[in-house]
Amino acid sequence: MTETRRVVPILTVGDIDAERTRYAEVLGLVEVMDLGWVVTLADGSGQRQVSLMTTDRTAPVNPAVSIEVDDVDAAYDAALAEGFEIVHELQDEEWGVRRFFLRDAAGNVLNVLAHRS
């Protein structure tokens, strides 16, 4: 069984620059990651995070949440065994993560990932 390390909600936005500023001003969050099409903002401790995304760079849909796990390959195998729909196949991304997307029975899309060493 895999262990969850971090869970980050993802909000789809039209203008990352404008929304990043608004979230920072209203909630006191700071930017901890910026890939251009997705930014992650966090509180001062880095423990509480939210991501803002325009359109996912390599996947066909935007996920609602990112879940970082210790073993993404094991999570992928478990998702297949549980019958989840895979909407973005397991792959290594150029920004240093290995990930896949699954869709649950309610239609929620989850980005399941692990950082590559």
Q: What pTM, to 2 d.p., does this model score?
A: 0.92
CATH topology of domain 4-115: 2,3-Dihydroxybiphenyl 1,2-Dioxygenase; domain 1 (3.10.180)
Is 16 a residue whose pLDDT tops 90? yes
Round to whole Å and give the CA distance between 92 and 98: 4
Report DSSP letters for 64-110, one per residue. Answer: SEEEEES-HHHHHHHHHHTTPEEEEEEEE-TTSEEEEEEE-TTS-EE
Domain segments of the chain: what residues?
A: 4-115
* pLDDT tier, 21 (very low <50, low <70, confident <90, very high otherwise): very high
Q: What is the pLDDT of residue 116?
A: 87
Q: What is the pLDDT of residues 76-98, one digit of tens each?
A: 999 999 999 999 999 999 999 99
Is 22 a residue whose pLDDT tops 90? yes
Q: What is the pLDDT of residue 117?
A: 72
Query: Taking all residues of the chain, what is their mean pLDDT, rounded to a whole number?
Result: 95
